[in-house]
Amino acid sequence: MMNPFSLENKIILVTGASSGIGAQCAIDFSRMGAKVILIARNIECLKQTLSKMEGSGHAYYSVDVTDFRALSCIIKLAVNEVGKISGVVHCAGISSVLPLKLVKEEDIDNIMRTNVFSAIQLVREVTHVGCYDKSNGISIIFLSSIMGVVGESCKSLYSFSKGAIIAGVRSLAVELAPKNIRVNCISPGVIVTNINKNARHIVDPERRKELENKHLLGLGETTDISNACIYLLSNGARWVTGQNIIVDGGYSVR
């Protein structure tokens, strides 16, 4: 039986693949039949992600996505070693909880370079002639956030960066559609990961309960996001581009 959501014969590049959503994406993509190119800074964590993946032909590379020259070299190397890219999921990013009065110029530079400028550079690199599978097209997915859609105190800097992703995706989708390139983003609500599971807002029972109450279906898991990515990467989403898919357990409908 045909499975429109299969990732067989696809080569998917995942940034931030050393932990959290990025690692889960890499693992689940491999289970759906894809070859995965894993990118992150921590080489040991990349190896741990790889050890949980299925299939063969995967590759991992240690690089900081804000080092644009190094990123360009790594993508060229990956294409040469693994093959032309048919999908990209850009999970690498940083968060910020900071009152506006405490924001410094370096804070702005850091979050915009990591969350926005790296996304622009990444799409420039993977859409070069010879880097992607032009005949079958390429699906590019950026991870935004529910904070790019709704407001919350002390999240303005983070919201600026994630809102920029949502806006940029629309114009990229228009510009790149003639090249058989689809561009979308996913905006998660609060996802429990190994990194944040010990954070105060998760560990403290009262704060966690307050946070859960904001999400009609409770807090999310990394697989909730990887499943959405699988859909957008698959042929089942061949007619979907320029969209922001909100996966937030009902947070934004209140």
The pTM (predicted TM-score) of the whole model is 0.95
The angle, 0 to 180 degrees and rounded to 10, between the axes of the packed helices 105-112 and 156-176 is 30
What pLDDT sits at residue 2? 80
- On whether the 11-195+223-247 domain is CATH 3.40.50.720, my answer is yes
What pLDDT sits at residue 176? 98
Enclosing H/E stretch for 228: helix 222-233
- Map tokens 């983003």 to a residue: 185
- Give me the residue spans of the domains in the chain: 11-195+223-247
What pLDDT sits at residue 194? 76
- How far apart CA 66 and CA 190 sit, in angstroms, is 25
82: burial class by Cβ within 10 Å (0-12, 13-18, 19+)? middle
Enclosing H/E stretch for 108: helix 105-112
What pLDDT sits at residue 99? 87
Count of residues making up the chain:
254
Mean pLDDT of successive 10-residue segments in the chain (254 residues)?
Answer: 91 97 98 98 97 98 97 97 98 89 93 97 95 94 96 91 97 97 97 76 81 92 98 97 97 89
Q: Give the residue among 94, 100, 97, 133 at the shortest CA–CA distance from 113.
A: 94
What pLDDT sits at residue 152? 87
What pLDDT sits at residue 86? 97
